[in-house]
Amino acid sequence: MPHTNYSSVIKTNKTANEVYTAINNVHLWWTENIEGGSKKLNDEFIVSFGETYIKLKVIELVNNYKVVWLVTDCFKHFLNNKKEWVGTKICFDIANQDNEVTNLVFTHIGLIDPLECYLICCDAWNGYLQGSLKSLINTGVGKPDSKV
């Protein structure tokens, strides 16, 4: 049986453009500890959480439809394999369900069950996505990790 990538869905009455804009403002929903750009194709940025950091490259952008980041480097201080996320992809797919509902499907390709990080990282993604990003989309205010 193939392993399933972590995935989460946000449904909102906001437009695809509002969802797309929120995703690309990483500092407003994931962490304020960010270096580099995250809004243009081939941009590279680093997000950090104390000792942990993740370096990402924007490898696909389709205005109002899709955002894909490639993890090019990382250091997950709490794992045996500190580089566990390297080579994984973080994908945001946006689709209008009808005139009133926009679906955002988040998939972390490569974040699968046998990985040491799976449960901890799924929990963290749930908080950032269903708590912070969803709040940013719906109210204009996210709950990112604070700047250190």
Q: What is the pLDDT of residue 46?
A: 98
Task: Kindly report the pTM of this predicted structure.
Answer: 0.95
Q: Which domains does the chain have, with CATH numbers?
A: 6-139 (3.30.530.20)
Instruction: Give the number of other Cβ atoms within 10 Å of residue 50's Cβ.
Output: 10
**Residue 127 — pLDDT band, cuts 50, 70, 90?**
very high
Q: Are 147 and 32 in contact (CB under 8 A)?
A: yes
Report how far apart, in Å, the C-alpha atoms of 96 and of each of 10, 64, 101, 107, 126 are.
Answer: 12, 10, 6, 17, 22
pLDDT in tens, 34-69: 999 999 999 999 999 999 999 999 999 999 999 999
pLDDT in tens, 93-110: 999 877 789 999 999 999
pLDDT above 80 (res 2): no
